């Protein structure tokens, strides 16, 4: 079993085999690591890709990010921060490669991004936008498993149906790892900051989060709430309990969670409309 796990990890860490990382993001990473680079320089790199620019602006103006009114890439970077824009570019690229039968997973991810933003805002946490990005990318490992291990994916679905277990339990049985760990590997290989990679890696086990437990707890709770709402398709129909470590990290109570659920119901209608609009634009876009 270790052989399968190690083989998958090697594939994930070899970023050259992944079609989801456009050259523009590599250039953006290099510029953002240079203290002498300006926002305008980075914006020019992103703006060289018209399709990517359009998607970043659309996402920056989406419900996930509080309906900012952003009309330029440089403004998006100033308002959201360079790391958020890089993550938006990544998530936009991931959506591009998703097959139509993965739209359910995209909607689930978008819903978790929105819910993460709502929770962070309600609790008065800093960096709401980056927490939303972590929520948006939390299941990125499922996309990669689907792309790189299609046979294993089919076996995972068989195990879920036959044994009625969570997706990550089926993944552990079939490939000796799960989408959270795979997503963490991928985030590391893309040099995403720990504030994003740790919530991705630990969103199913908040206690293992060491440096960004609050962000991880937010993403975990957002994931549970979106699964409970039935919005999108996360891969299985089972809703886990909110982990005690998440309650403790955020000092939550049942009244606060009840208010979040009520607020989320209205927001998900907007998210569904946004998803449908994005799909229509993607279908209409030239290849």
The pTM (predicted TM-score) of the whole model is 0.77
- Under 8 Å between Cβ of 203 and 220: yes
Give the confidence band of 17 by pLDDT, cuts at 50, 70, 90: very low
Going by C-alpha positions, the residue among 228, 234, 198 that lies closest to residue 216 is 198
243: left (phi over 0), alpha (psi -120 to 50) or beta: beta
Checking if the pLDDT of 145 tops 90, the result is no
Asked which of 80-94, 148-162, 239-253, 259-273 is least confident by mean pLDDT, the reply is 80-94
Q: In angstroms, rounded to a whole number, what is the distance separating the alpha carbons of residues 180 and 208? A: 12
- Specify the higher pLDDT residue, 148 or 88: 148
Q: What is the 3-state secondary structure (H, E, C) of 211-258?
A: CCHHHHHHHHHHHHHHHHHCCCCCCCCCCCCCCHHHHHHHCCCHHHHH
Give the confidence band of 196 by pLDDT, cuts at 50, 70, 90: confident
Give the confidence band of 287 by pLDDT, cuts at 50, 70, 90: very low
Checking if the pLDDT of 20 tops 60, the result is no
Cβ count near 283 (within 10 Å): 8
pLDDT at 193: 78
pLDDT at 220: 98
Average the pLDDT over 164-191 and give the result. Answer: 90
Question: pLDDT per residue over 46-104, tens digit each?
Answer: 776 666 676 677 666 766 666 556 777 777 776 666 666 666 666 666 666 555 557 78
State the average pLDDT for the chain: 80
Give the confidence band of 179 by pLDDT, cuts at 50, 70, 90: very high
Q: In angstroms, rounded to a whole number, what is the distance separating the alpha carbons of residues 90 and 25? A: 8
Give start and end residues of each alpha helix (H) in the chain.
2-13, 23-32, 39-47, 50-60, 73-80, 82-97, 103-122, 128-136, 140-148, 150-163, 167-175, 179-189, 194-202, 213-229, 244-250, 254-284
């Amino acid at each position: 079993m270790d052989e399968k796990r190690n083989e998958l990890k090697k594939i994930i860490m070899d970023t050259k085999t992944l079609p989801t990382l456009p050259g523009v993001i590599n250039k953006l990473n290099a510029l953002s690591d240079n203290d002498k680079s300006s926002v305008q320089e980075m914006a020019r790199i992103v703006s060289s890709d018209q399709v990517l620019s359009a998607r970043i602006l659309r996402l920056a103006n989406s419900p996930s990010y509080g309906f900012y009114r952003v009309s330029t890439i440089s403004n998006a970077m100033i308002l959201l921060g360079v790391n958020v824009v890089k993550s938006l570019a990544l998530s936009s690229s991931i959506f591009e490669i998703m097959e139509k039968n993965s739209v359910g997973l995209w909607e689930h991810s978008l819903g978790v991004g929105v819910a993460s933003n709502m929770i962070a805002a309600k609790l008065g946490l800093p960096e709401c936008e980056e927490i939303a990005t972590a929520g948006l990318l939390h299941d990125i490992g499922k996309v990669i498993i689907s792309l790189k291990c299609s046979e294993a994916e089919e076996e995972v679905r068989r195990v879920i149906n036959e044994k009625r277990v969570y997706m990550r339990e089926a993944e552990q049985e079939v490939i000796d790892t799960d989408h959270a760990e795979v997503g963490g590997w991928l985030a590391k290989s893309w040099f995403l900051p720990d504030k994003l990679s740790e919530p991705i890696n630990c969103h199913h086990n908040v206690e293992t989060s060491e440096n960004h437990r609050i962000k991880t707890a937010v993403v975990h709770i957002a994931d549970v709430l979106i699964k409970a709402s039935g919005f999108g398709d996360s891969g299985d129909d089972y809703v886990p309990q909110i982990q005690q470590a998440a309650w403790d990290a955020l000092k939550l109570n049942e009244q606060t969670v009840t208010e979040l659920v009520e607020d989320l119901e209205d927001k998900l209608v907007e998210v569904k409309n946004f998803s449908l609009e994005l799909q229509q634009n993607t279908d209409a876009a030239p290849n």
